[in-house]
Amino acid sequence: MHSRTSRSRQLFERAVASLVEGGSSPSRGPANYGDNPLFIERGAGAHIWDADGNKYLDWMMAYGALPLGHAHPRIVEAIVEAAQGGTLFAAATGIEIEVAEMLRRMIPGAERVRFANTGTEAVMAAIRLARGFTGRPKFIKFEGHYHGWYDDFLVNAHPQPVASLGHPHDPVKIADSSGLNRRALEDTVVVPWNDLQAVERALEINRGQIAAILSEPVMANMGVIPPAPGYLAGLRRLATEHGALLILDETVTGFRIAPGGCQQHFGVAADLATFGKALGSGLPVAAITGRAEIMDGFAWGGVLHYGTQNASRIGLAAALASLRELQRDSGAAFTHLWRIGEQLVAGLNDAFRETGTRAIAQGIGPMLQVLFTDRRAISDYREFCAYVDRGKYRRLALALFEQGVYMSPSAALHSVSSLAHTEDDVRFTVDAVRKVLGDGGF
């Protein structure tokens, strides 16, 4: 591998002198990629090229931020045109209205919209808004769900030894970082996911204190774990019964699963929903949407939410172009995303059976992950921690780099299909997986 990526290695050795771990996020450094992280120089469609000129079929797509693929002509055109008129005004602009109106048409229950820059910021604002609206201090956060790196919800979001998690009725809170405010997690109630009885128990124990139930609609930072049938509807019912808000964090699933996100796909109505990643199609754009009576709490004198970069005109130009493409021909893009994703899952599972590999490809529509496990499915965080061999997956992903296939080396993350991927890309990937598995070690 090192001989193919000598330029990346040189860049990494240079980077560590100026950048912590040689980069600006642990996910793109040694923690995932080992001692020779790849440096990517350009992308087009479904492919990327590293600093050594090696070409890869990209199934990561910037962690799901690129539903149309790399350098889509409409996105590039929109960014260039917007930049020619000025990069930032920090003032009201017409495109802000246009994108907000489009989101209201697309997303169920989006009576009001507020823009931010990242999914982390959007969830921070949503939690503050929920506390302000309800006058309650606590919120429910699920094991294995990652909502960004803010203190209040940076807990039980990464794989841990099962023995350290405590009893499911009373999970041990495991902070995911040093330096958290020592009281930050006092009002965070951690509960196992896909277990309605656990949620009901937590609501009863903290009766009258829970401002919101915060959940990813699909667990997307522990591989890909879909909700059990009726689970999201159950969260909706319990939130209503206990006077709490239901917040769906669609930072990952938004503009991938359906035009209106998981609220549309699963038929569940959230009080608030947060979006990021795919919304900006590669630029930092996020949004909070929801019921007008709640969202209007952001009005001056209520729940404070500032941001000089909020609703940047270049980011919104990219978002508008992307949303138009995704809705073209009655949303044909989503049909394509699902078809490619499901074909890849089926092809990978065929390859595992044919090679006698103890692994599964699990996903929903355009989101999927390879899980090295003896189980037929993984349904929650504790099962992921107990039964998934993350080391084997990492070896597979790194071996696939040499075959020209790019997937995140972290088993806790996942792969995504884009509008740029084709059925030939699926076949190429499955053939590469067969070859790597055939070489042994799995």
pLDDT above 80: residue 148: yes
121 and 260 share a domain? yes
11 and 134 share a domain? no
Number of domains in the chain: 2
C-alpha–C-alpha distance, residues 438 and 424, integer Å: 21
305 and 320 share a domain? yes
**DSSP per position, 95-153:** HHHHHHHHHHHHSTT-SEEEEESSHHHHHHHHHHHHHHHH---EEEEETT----S-GGG
Task: Tell me, yes or no, whether 166 lies in a domain.
Answer: yes
Q: Sorting pLDDT into bands at 50, 70 and 90, what band is 106? A: very high
Domain boundary pick from 289, 324, 359: 324
Task: Tell me, yes or no, whether 132 lies in a domain.
Answer: yes
Q: Tally Cβ neighbours within 10 Å of residue 195.
A: 18
Of the candidates 50, 58, 249, 271, the residue annotated as catalytic is 249
pLDDT at 1: 56
Task: Tell me, yes or no, whether 262 lies in a domain.
Answer: yes
Of the candidates 33, 56, 63, 146, the residue annotated as catalytic is 146
- Taking only Cα atoms into account, the Rg of the chain, rounded to an integer number of angstroms, comes to 21
Of the candidates 277, 380, 393, 406, the residue annotated as catalytic is 277
Task: Tell me, yes or no, whether 1 lies in a domain.
Answer: no
pLDDT above 80: residue 440: no
CATH number for the domain that contains residue 379: 3.90.1150.10
99 and 166 share a domain? yes
232 and 315 share a domain? yes
pLDDT above 90: residue 23: no
pLDDT at 2: 64
Range of the domain at 181: 73-324
Q: How far apart are the first and last CA of the chain?
A: 19
Domain boundary pick from 279, 303, 324: 324
Q: Sorting pLDDT into bands at 50, 70 and 90, what band is 26? A: confident
Query: What is the average per-residue pLDDT within 102-114?
Result: 97
310 and 395 share a domain? no
pLDDT at 234: 98
112 and 178 share a domain? yes
CB 56, CB 46: distance < 8 Å: no
> 408, 326, 362: which is closest to 48 by C-alpha?
408
Q: Tally Cβ neighbours within 10 Å of residue 186.
A: 12
- Active-site annotation holds for 435: no
Task: Tell me, yes or no, whether 217 lies in a domain.
Answer: yes
67 and 77 share a domain? no
Which percentage of the chain shows pLDDT scores above 70?
100
Give me the sheet containing 367-371, strands edge to edge: 360-364, 367-371, 415-416
Task: Tell me, yes or no, whether 398 lies in a domain.
Answer: yes
CATH number for the domain that contains residue 218: 3.40.640.10
Condensed to tens digits (0 to 9), the pLDDT of residues 158-199 reads 999 999 999 999 999 999 999 999 899 999 999 999 999 999
38 and 87 share a domain? no
302 and 349 share a domain? no
Average pLDDT, the chain: 96
Q: Sorting pLDDT into bands at 50, 70 and 90, what band is 33? A: confident
Query: What is the average per-residue pLDDT within 113-137?
Result: 98
pLDDT above 80: residue 319: yes
171 and 282 share a domain? yes
- Active-site annotation holds for 277: yes
CA 211 remoteness from chain centre: 24
pLDDT above 70: residue 139: yes
Domain boundary pick from 324, 350, 367: 324
61 and 156 share a domain? no
Please provide the size of the chain in residues: 442
pTM assigned to the model? 0.96
